[in-house]
Copies of this chain bind each other. A is one copy, B any other.
């Protein structure tokens, strides 16, 4: 694994992203065993534990140099108004809990199309809903990351395509106007949107909240790639993961790095084997 003192990346074990369900306690054990730098928090699990139990867990993680990866956002940016209102109203307490656990990054993805909202109407919706969520997260000291989703096989399926490129995601973040909001970058979306290492090199480190590394299957045109069918980084070489990582390193990114292969083979494996293979693939590309 790359030297964390020089590059600031920390590998993040997300069993959910691997499609395996060992349970959170086992996930922590696996993260420690395989030398991950972080583990994705299970906030529901943490909430069910006593303060002492959480403290004990955090001490154990600290002992092994394991940080928290980024957590998910319990607010649906595309929900109807009443649902959004109640989820947003609940976020204040949730954000305080995250802060009390030491979880400092939350993320969600931007749905890249709509059948009912034009691009501009959807942009205004997202800008202000993100601003509302962000104000609450920022107040608790939690950064908010947004992931754009690149495959054309996804964004072209409804009447109004929406944000699906780095340039658009940055426009959206600019419109929010908060330095607490940043990007979640995923090589798969970066590849499917036709972006380059130079596009990453233009970012400042502070703009990046979390990173996903994936490869793509061979035998498909870029525009035919499917969001739900990916490979572990380095598996095929279709995506220039090394170029992407190099650009991130150059700008000085500090934060979690995980894989999210949505891969049937991996899902079918024994959890321990899947995690071992994941660690190996991350170590190879970092």
Contacts and interface: CB of A to CB of B under 8 A. Distances in A.
A63 B123 CA distance: 49
B85 A81 contact: no
Interface residues of A, number: 40
Interface string A51-87: 0000000000000000000000000000011101110
Nearest to A174: B174
A168 B119 contact: yes
A180 interface: no
Interface in A121-139: 121, 123-125, 127-129, 131-133, 135-136, 139
A177 B118 CA distance: 10
| Interface of chain A: mostly helix, strand, loop or mixed | helix
A33 B118 CA distance: 45
A125 B123 contact: no
Contacts of A88: 81, 85, 88-89
Nearest to A193: B159
A125 B152 CA distance: 24
A49 to B, nearest CB: 26
Nearest to A117: B177
A196 to B, nearest CB: 13
Contact of A128 (B82, B86, B125, B194): B125
Interface string A176-199: 010000000000000001100000
Interface of A: 80-82, 84-86, 88-89, 91-92, 118-121, 123-125, 127-129, 131-133, 135-136, 139, 152, 156, 159-161, 165, 167-168, 171, 174-175, 177, 193-194
> Closest 3 A-B residue pairs measured CB to CB?
A128-B128, A81-B135, A85-B88
